[in-house]
Structures are given as structure tokens and as C-alpha cells.
Amino acid sequence: MRASPVGDLTGRRLYLCTPDRPDLEAFLHAALAGGVDMVQLRDKRLDAGPLVDRAALAARCCAAHGVPFVVNDRPDVALASGAAGVHVGQDDISPEIARRILGPSAIVGLSPHRPAEMEASIPAPVDYVSAGPVEPTPTKPGRPGTGPDYAGYATARAGRPVFVTGGVRPETVRPLVAAGARRFVVVRYLMTSSDVEADARRLATVIDEALAAASSGQGS
């Protein structure tokens, strides 16, 4: 499933968030071939120069597959690397400043982790939000899981695309769709995979089947 143009989030339902890794190019091409249709590079370790280089590589990979690529936290790196946009958290640069730096056509995403943050995000100049983590995750140490009910609340309330994060893997997709989720962020399931393309395809297929069942009323 692919949406067009690259900056359009219509139809995007499987969003990979990954740190840098030695095999980043091969990893991304495999994930994208398997059905990932949006990518974020989230790496808190790299200095700005190396991060721009790795983000530029990721941007080229994603462009080859016609999917949007965003950088975590750093609109300056997004601008320098040719990324489609940036994803910011509650403690990062504000969406308003990110929008000012990147302009009106860029993608700006935001992570609201609780209902009060979701409500505060409604007037923000963002194109999508990431809701969760549904389960506790090592990428967000110390943050408890929100549970699946928050995924449904966020999807109903945000007024824009909502990608649910935290513990997304084939066996968790159907319960999350039943709770109201429609878009998903995958991290560890693909980061630890020994066959990235096959596992991405498996996850994408489960998502598509669950969404089709929910659309037809079979998942209710």
C-alpha cells in the first residue's frame, strides 16, 4: 500500500522508527519492500554532522520507495538532510518552531502520551500524532504503558492521523484495532528481526486484514 505524494499521510499505516545502525541502508530497503510506508530516524547518540549524513542516506532510501521520511527532534537536521519533516516529543523543540523552520509543506509530528497532552495538541500545527506507548518500552525508559484504551481515545479525538506505538507486533494488532487504532509504529519487532522484509510483510498483512475486517464490521 502506497500513498502519493510522498508527503501525504493518506493510507500510511505502518511507520518504522529506528535508530542508526551499521546496516541502515539494507535494513530500510528490506523494511520498505516488506510494506513499511513511513520511516523515522531517532538517534540520540550521533552528533549533528554524522546525523545529517545518516539521515540523508535514509531519506534517499525512502525516496526510492516513495514513502515519507522524518527525523526525530531536529528540524535543522531534517532541513539539511532532505527529510520530509520532523517528529518532536513533549520535551523537544515545539511544533510551532519546527513548522517555522521547515515551512508549511513539511511533515511535523508530535507525541502526546496522555489525554491532557492530546487535548493540548489539537490546535498545534502538526500533521499527525504518535499515541502511546501502549506497553512500556525500552526506547522510553521509565514511562508506563498507556493501555489500549488511550489508542482508541487518541484516534477518535486528535482530528488528524494517529499512529499507535509501544509493543506493535502481529499478535497485538487485532486487539489494538478493536480498541480503535488504525495506524501503527513498529520499533523492536523489526529492529530485532532476522528477516526484516518477511517480518515487515507479515506485520503489514496482519494490519491490512484487521483494518479490512474492522471496516466491514467483522472486527466489532
For residue 119, the surrounding DSSP H or E stretch is: helix 115-121
Note whether residue 7 is domain-resident: no
Q: Is 105 domain-assigned?
A: yes
**Does a structural domain hold residue 9?**
no
Residue 202 counted as domain residue: yes
Looking at the domain assignment, is residue 3 inside a domain? no
What residue type is 157 in one-letter code?
Answer: R
Gyration radius of the chain over CA positions = 16
- Kindly state whether residue 36 falls inside one of the protein's structural domains: yes
- Residue-wise pLDDT tens digits, 8-65: 899 999 999 999 999 999 999 999 999 999 999 999 999 999 999 999 999 999 999 9
- Kind of pairing between the strands at 85-88 and 69-72: parallel
pLDDT above 90: residue 113: no
Residue 54 lies in a domain: yes
Tell me the residue range of the domain where 87 lies: 14-215
96 close to 113: Cβ distance less than 8 angstroms = no
CA–CA separation, 53 and 80 (whole Å): 9
Whether the model pTM is above 0.75: yes
Provide long-range contacts, Cβ within 8 A and 24+ apart, for 187-191.
187/16, 187/17, 187/18, 187/137, 187/139, 188/137, 188/138, 188/139, 190/16, 190/18, 190/31, 190/36, 191/18, 191/19, 191/21
Convert the pLDDT of each residue in 76-95 to its tens digit: 999 999 999 999 999 999 99
Question: Quick check: is 111 in a domain?
Answer: yes
**Number of structural domains, the chain?**
1
CATH value at residue 71: 3.20.20.70
